[in-house]
């Protein structure tokens, strides 16, 4: 049970909470929601989905050289992942200029592609793409303690959902294999879809939902119809979801530069609320015996 967690206050808070729930809360109310990037799998030096998008942007720029001088295509061709990471950090600090450039280009990438074809591209990406720093497959960059937590909750009759600012249809093809979460329990950002005459759902160059910040509770209620009893996140984009939770709030603190990365940019507000409201802060350095499975 939670073998990758060190004994201490953090592990005890989780175990005690789950014991309390199983003693008196009906199974149907045992809802747990988890952010994905930086909470369930590694998000540095860039988001996993961002690597996928960068490769697709570079391919598009190779076909259309006129795009190479424009952002974000220039950064994609030059493999300047720092530009993309900075765009996301700026977003969490209130500056969306670069993120809007990326969003416009990203929305055009898979226009008129069927959702099944897109899932095939995602599956192919995960079959060969490796993390640029750790040299291990992206599929193996999930946090072992958090995957254990998902299993522990499932064993105690919790229904776990992924609620991500990342793409719903990017996570779904691999969620069952790496997390044990079926695709219907993945909530995330999504482009518009349109049914064509052949019966396929085609991706549209519009944003249906950006599942971040205050939108997360909206999507949780829209999809689940219950407030979660447990919520886990790691950034300002998860702050509203954590505050919406009516039970145990878990905030992953990336404080382990030796085994993963150490950073707090984009999590300042969440960390402040965690301290003020008594959330359980998970120290990767102190609370986890390992980060990734061997």
Q: Do 265 and 173 belong to one domain?
A: yes
The Cα 107–Cα 88 span in angstroms is: 16
Q: Over the range 142-181, which residues count as b (16 or more CB within 10 Å of their CB) and which as e?
A: bbbbbbbbbebbeeeebbbbbbbbbbbbbbbbbbeebbeb
Cβ atoms of 249 and 240 closer than 8 Å: no
> Cα torsion at 52, 33, 277, 189 (round to 10°)?
40
Q: How long a stretch of residues is the chain?
A: 294
Residue 55 is predicted with a pLDDT of 92
Q: Do 152 and 198 belong to one domain?
A: yes
> Strand, coil or helix: what is 103?
helix
CA contacts within 13 A on the Cβ side of 170? 23
Residue 82 is predicted with a pLDDT of 81
Domain annotation covers residue 293: no
Q: Do 178 and 97 belong to one domain?
A: no
Q: Do 72 and 183 belong to one domain?
A: no
Residue 92 is predicted with a pLDDT of 75
Residue 201 is predicted with a pLDDT of 98
Domain annotation covers residue 132: no
Residue 148 is predicted with a pLDDT of 98
Q: And the tokens for 199?
A: 């019966």
Start-to-end CA distance of the chain, whole Å, equals 18
266, with CB counted inside 10 A (0-12, 13-18, 19+), is buried
CA contacts within 13 A on the Cβ side of 27? 4
Q: Do 27 and 75 belong to one domain?
A: no
The Cα 252–Cα 245 span in angstroms is: 16
Give the number of other CB atoms < 10 A from CB of residue 22.
14
Residue range(s) defining the domain that contains residue 81: 48-109
Q: And the tokens for 114?
A: 């069927």
The beta strand positions in 130-244, using DSSP E, are 159-167, 186-195, 201-209, 230-233
Residue 137 is predicted with a pLDDT of 97
Classify residue 138 as left (phi > 0), alpha (psi -120 to 50) or beta.
Answer: alpha
Residue 88 is predicted with a pLDDT of 76
The Cα 160–Cα 153 span in angstroms is: 8
Q: Do 76 and 53 belong to one domain?
A: yes
Note the pTM of the prediction, 2 decimals. 0.93
Residue 86 is predicted with a pLDDT of 86
Give the number of other CB atoms < 10 A from CB of residue 196.
10
- Phi/psi at 3 (5° precision): -65, -25
Residue 128 is predicted with a pLDDT of 95
Q: Do 102 and 149 belong to one domain?
A: no
Domain annotation covers residue 175: yes
- Considering its fold, how many domains does the chain have in total? 2
Q: Do 190 and 233 belong to one domain?
A: yes
Domain annotation covers residue 135: no
Residue 271 is predicted with a pLDDT of 97
Residues in a beta bridge with 252: 282
Q: Do 150 and 205 belong to one domain?
A: yes
Residue 141 is predicted with a pLDDT of 98
Q: Do 279 and 238 belong to one domain?
A: yes
Residue 81 is predicted with a pLDDT of 77
Q: And the tokens for 177?
A: 């294999």
Q: And the tokens for 33?
A: 């929601």
Report the chain (294 residues): mean pLDDT per 10 consecutive residues. 96 98 97 98 92 91 89 91 82 87 91 96 96 96 98 98 98 98 98 95 96 98 98 97 98 98 95 97 98 91
């Amino acid at each position: 049970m939670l073998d990758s967690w060190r004994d201490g206050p953090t592990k005890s808070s989780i175990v005690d909470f789950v014991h309390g729930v199983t003693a008196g809360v009906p199974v149907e109310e045992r809802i747990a929601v988890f952010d994905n990037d930086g909470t369930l799998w590694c998000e540095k030096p860039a988001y996993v989905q961002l690597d996928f998008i960068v490769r697709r942007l570079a391919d598009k720029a190779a076909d259309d050289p006129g795009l190479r001088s424009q952002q974000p295509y220039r950064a994609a061709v030059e493999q300047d992942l720092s530009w993309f990471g900075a765009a996301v950090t700026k977003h969490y600090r209130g500056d969306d200029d670069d993120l809007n450039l990326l969003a416009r280009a990203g929305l055009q990438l898979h226009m008129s592609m069927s959702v099944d074809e897109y899932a095939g591209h995602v599956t192919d990406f995960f079959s060969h793409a490796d993390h640029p720093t750790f040299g291990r497959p992206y599929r193996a960059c999930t946090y072992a303690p958090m995957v254990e937590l998902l299993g522990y909750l499932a064993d105690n009759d919790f229904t776990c959902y992924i609620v991500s600012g990342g793409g719903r249809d990017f996570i779904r093809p691999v969620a069952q294999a790496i997390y044990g979460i079926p695709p219907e329990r993945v909530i995330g950002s999504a482009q518009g879809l349109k049914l064509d005459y052949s019966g396929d759902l085609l991706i549209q160059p519009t944003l249906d939902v950006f599942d971040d910040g205050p939108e997360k509770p909206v999507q949780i209620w829209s999809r689940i119809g219950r407030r979660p009893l447990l919520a886990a996140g790691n950034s300002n984009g998860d702050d509203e979801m954590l505050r919406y939770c009516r039970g145990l709030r878990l905030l992953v603190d990336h404080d382990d530069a030796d085994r993963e990365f150490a950073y707090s940019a984009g999590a300042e507000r969440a960390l402040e609320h965690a301290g003020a409201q008594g959330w359980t802060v998970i120290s990767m350095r102190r609370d986890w015996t390992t980060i990734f499975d061997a």
